[in-house]
Chain A
Amino acid sequence: MLTDDGRPIFLQIAEQLENSIIEGALAEGDQVPSTNELAAFHRINPATAAKGVNQLVIDGILHKRRGIGMFVTTGARGLLRERRRARFAVQFVDPLVAEARKLGLALDDLHDLVDRSWKDSR
Chain B
Amino acid sequence: MNGPSDPARPSPLDVEGVTHRFGGVLALDGVAFRLDEPGIHGLLGRNGAGKTTLLQILAGQLRPGAGRVEIFGHDPFERAGTQAQLCLVREGQRYPDGFRVHHVLRAAALFFPHWDAGYAARLAADFELPPRRAVTKLSRGMLSAVGVVVGLASRAPLTLFDEPYLGLDAVARQHFYDQLLADVAAHPRTILLSTHLIDEIADLLQHVVVIDHGRVILRADADDLRREAVALTGPADDVEAVVGNLLGTGPGTALARERLGGVARVTVRVGGTAPVLPPGSAVRVEPVSLQRLVVHLTSSPAAPRDGATAAGGAPADADAGTTTTPQGALR
Contacts and interface: CB of A to CB of B under 8 A. Distances in A.
Given A8-B226, A10-B223, A43 B287 contact: no
A45 interface: yes
Given A6-B230, A6-B286, A46 B205 contact: no
Interface in A39-80: 39-40, 42-48, 51
B185 interface: yes
Interface residues of A, number: 22
A103 B177 CA distance: 46
A115 interface: no
Contacts of B223: 8-10, 45, 48, 51
A43 B176 CA distance: 12
A120 interface: no
A47 B37 contact: yes
A108 interface: no
Contact of A40 (B182, B222, B226, B230): B182
A98 interface: yes
A45 B185 contact: no
A109 B275 CA distance: 32
Contact of B206 (A4, A8, A40, A47): A47
Contacts of A44: 203-204
Given A6-B230, A39-B185, A40-B185, A45 B222 contact: yes
Contacts of B226: 6-9
A36 interface: yes
Interface string B221-244: 011101100100000000000000
A45 B206 CA distance: 6
A4 B227 CA distance: 11
B206 A6 contact: no
Interface in B177-203: 177-178, 181-182, 184-186, 203
B280 interface: yes
B39 interface: yes
Contact of B39 (A6, A7, A47): A47
Contacts of A36: 182, 185-186
Contacts of B324: none
Contacts of B182: 36, 40
Contacts of A8: 223-224, 226-227
B289 interface: yes
A101 B279 CA distance: 12
Interface of B: 37, 39-40, 177-178, 181-182, 184-186, 203-206, 222-224, 226-227, 230, 280, 286-289
Interface of A: 2, 4-10, 36, 39-40, 42-48, 51, 98, 101-102
13 contacts: A4-B287, A6-B288, A7-B227, A8-B226, A8-B227, A9-B226, A36-B185, A42-B203, A43-B178, A44-B204, A45-B206, A45-B222, A48-B203
